[in-house]
Chains A and B, each alone.
Chain A
Amino acid sequence: MGDPTTTPALDVPVLQVSGATVRFGRETALDSVDFRMFAGEVHSLMGENGAGKSTLIKALTGALPLDAGEIRLDGQPVRIPSPLEAQRHGIRTVYQEIDLLPNLSVAENIALGREPRRYGGIDWPAMRRLASEVLAELGLTIDPASQLGTHSLAVQQLVAIARAISTDVRVLVLDEPTSSLDADEVAELFRVIRELKDRGVAVLFISHFLDQVYEICDRITVLRGGVLVGEYRTTELLRIDLVQKMLGREITEQRVRRPSDPEPGTRVVLGARQLRRWPRVHDADIEVREAEVVGLAGLLGSGRTELARTLAGVDQPDGGVIVLDGTPTTIAGPRRGIGLGVVYSSENRRTEGIIAELTVRENIVLALQAQRGILRLMPRARQTELAASWIEALGIRPESPETIAGTLSGGNQQKVLLARLLALAPRALLLDEPTRGIDVGAKVEVQNLVGELAANGMSVVFISAELEEVLRVSTRIVVLRDGLVVATLPADELSSGSLLAMVTQPDDGD
């Protein structure tokens, strides 16, 4: 919890952006967002995947240009065209993946790029002195001459921070710094953050662990879908309110059900018992019946994606059994899964879905062709016919099968991806955030399609960060928290309010 006594006087923010807008092609990743940070405060940026967190950070640290908007440092307008310029302004970033050189010494890493010089060479004693000073400041008792790679990830993370604060740092951005740390290491990191805070550094702490955010942060800014939701004092924002703001839509107590709901079958098509996949799936039990949509509800990091991937055989379980039609089955990879009629659509449409440089036709036919084998090339006429029929069925625009898939809008790419999987006539379809980043119209179309597929007997697993959407689409809902299945309930026994309460960790002291 933020300590009110340490909150400094609020005058001019150290860093302030107004109207920040970033576009990628036709997608607007950040839509005139206002954001500010004060000296001596720890600020958190919260939001689900695609909310625009990383885009905003990149814009602030010069890694990405703003299409519109203004950045002010101490009230003065500045331009930050490159990371180097950001560093010159005292804005330093420590990324999630440590971007240091493990085969160099700790001192070399700290001084990298601005080594103290003497007689045209590197002043090694001065460098070691500098490193020792910074390390001492952080309370790190490691030898500056030791090789960085020999230390634990936590220590490497702290060295990255040491590198950042060894310059005149005013704004320190920590992007998911705790994702690879254990509890003691997190405590150590927090001690350092508090010290920096006392020195008047503005710290931006990004983490999807609510506990940590509530422990260390003074202020929280929430983004959703590239738009600012609001800025709040941590002490004045209940966790459940935070989560609701992240996930969107005011909570309505009315029950949401699809109008034409078929009676779900009773036969279990795909299921798992005690399924484990380190570190995000712990002893999960799940059943997906014929003609039903099972929604996986949980926050980012709850294990919803990992559970779906493991269930589809895309990732291999560390333990437990996958049961297909009542028979324990090993699904050794996605190819085998497709053969068995279990298909998975990734949440990362661009990196794990669309083959951007191939045509819509080639993308739609791909999985079916892979299944037929290399030698049995589907005749071109048949390919075009198949692609055209899916283009019509799903309303893909533009309609030409020969359009390069990468040029389509997000919603149409998603439909192409769905067409690829549906062409396989699967029995179980696992959809990971199929509506993320697509416009409202396409979203509703995808939701309706999922309903129709289930009505025709398909078993569907549906993942979405939007709880409302999960409620609307699903027959039953599996609630996940921190990699654990905490409940499995029929959707009509849940309101979005009660579902929200279930996916959120309880507040301390509640």
Chain B
Amino acid sequence: MTKIFKHRLVLPIAALVALILVNTISRPSFVSITVRDGQLYGSVIDILRNSAPLMLVALGMTIVIATRGIDLSVGALMAVSGAVALTIIDGSGSPDSPATLGIAIAAGVTVTLIFGAWNGFLVSVLGIQPIIATLVLMLAGRGIALLITGGFITTVTSTPYKFMSQGYLLGLPFAFYVSVVAIVLVALIQRRTALGVLTESVGINPEASRLAGVRSRGIVWGAYAVSGLLAGFAGILYSSNIMAADANAAGQYIELDAILAVVLGGTSLMGGKFSIAGTVIGVFTIQTLKSTITFLGVPPAVSPLFMAMVVVIVVLVQSQRVRNGASKLWATVSSRKEAEVAR
């Protein structure tokens, strides 16, 4: 029993369950799912669908953070991939053909893959601090996206492109499948090869790993490239949702949400041990929180404050120091009580 409570995912799961409970109590409709035309609808389904871009970005962020790094450029890279893809669709004669779609998506994510590799180059080869290295593209990325769209918000009409974020497959939103595929792929690549443990090793102790013959440079480089690639797919999903390439709004502040999701999932910002499952729970927690804020009617201007408060509580609960302090306090209180009883 104690073993279950000591598992590292207990607190993230507890936070998510608590959030769901609060929602269910305050509006029972939260958990209800209705079926229309064989498709599922409801708040929970919305969360599964809307969390897809954040999920992709947070998965990449998990790997980067495990190497002791951070990737601030993901939001800007989302803008870039959306801009590239929509510009290609916009310029093509047949926006509905699968070929156009394929080329557009491939081009979008290839560009962000290259940008991710650039981040990795700065960090692993030139030894620039990750926060500075990725800040470059965080600032420049949106400019590049605007350059691609010629300064406009490119809008298109393409049924298959729209399907990615709004379509349904076997009763569930297509975007959710994208999330699932990404989660499974990342988990398989990390845990069915030696990449996961070597990444953790590099994150925990880079010099000891180097002496043990680990290719730390390649591992760090690859982490940023993967983060760029996943941000690219997230950008495709985002632009598909609004059918527009909005260089300023796409992925705005998503890097912060992603970092938060990773931390909520129990992965330390100090690098090392990481948990894909934890990140998945963290993403759902954040998305549920956002939906809660909307439902409670918190004015949009105040919602960041509300969000921040909840996050502070969750992070405090997870902090080892706070927990140690609390258990000490509890021990003192209960021993006093015992003393009183004895008297």
Which residues of A line the B interface, CB within 8 A? Answer: 314, 333-335, 337-339, 344, 346, 351-358, 362, 366-367, 369-378, 420
Contact = CB atoms under 8 A, between A and B. Distances in A.
B197 interface: yes
Which A-B residue pairs are the 6 nearest by beta carbons?
Answer: A338-B213, A335-B213, A367-B212, A370-B214, A370-B213, A377-B194
23 contacts: A337-B213, A338-B213, A339-B213, A352-B207, A353-B208, A354-B205, A355-B204, A355-B205, A356-B204, A357-B272, A357-B273, A358-B197, A358-B201, A366-B198, A366-B201, A366-B212, A366-B214, A369-B194, A369-B198, A371-B213, A374-B198, A376-B194, A378-B194
Contacts of A371: 213
B192 interface: yes
B208 A352 contact: yes
A333 to B, nearest CB: 8
Contacts of A334: 210-213
B204 A375 contact: no
Interface string B201-242: 100110111111111000100000000000000000000000
Contact of B204 (A314, A344, A357): A357
A362 B273 CA distance: 12
A372 B214 CA distance: 10
A337 B215 CA distance: 13
A313 to B, nearest CB: 11
Nearest to A335: B213
Given A370-B214, A370-B215, A355 B209 contact: yes
Interface of B: 192-195, 197-198, 200-201, 204-205, 207-215, 219, 272-273
A374 B212 contact: no
Contacts of B195: 374
Given A369-B194, A373-B194, A377-B194, A351 B213 contact: no
Nearest to A375: B193
Given A366-B201, A376-B194, A354 B208 contact: yes
A366 B200 CA distance: 11
B194 A374 contact: yes
Given A334-B212, A335-B213, A357-B273, A370 B198 contact: yes
Contacts of A378: 194
A353 B210 CA distance: 10
Nearest to B192: A377
A362 B197 contact: yes
A338 B208 CA distance: 14
Nearest to B272: A357
Contacts of B215: 335, 370, 374
A374 B213 CA distance: 12
A354 B205 CA distance: 8
A193 B24 CA distance: 74
A367 B210 CA distance: 9
Nearest to B207: A352
Contacts of B207: 351-352
A465 B81 CA distance: 59
A278 to B, nearest CB: 20
Contacts of B214: 335, 366, 370
A478 B213 CA distance: 28
A344 B212 CA distance: 9
Contacts of A356: 204-205
A353 B273 CA distance: 17
Nearest to A369: B194
Contacts of B272: 357
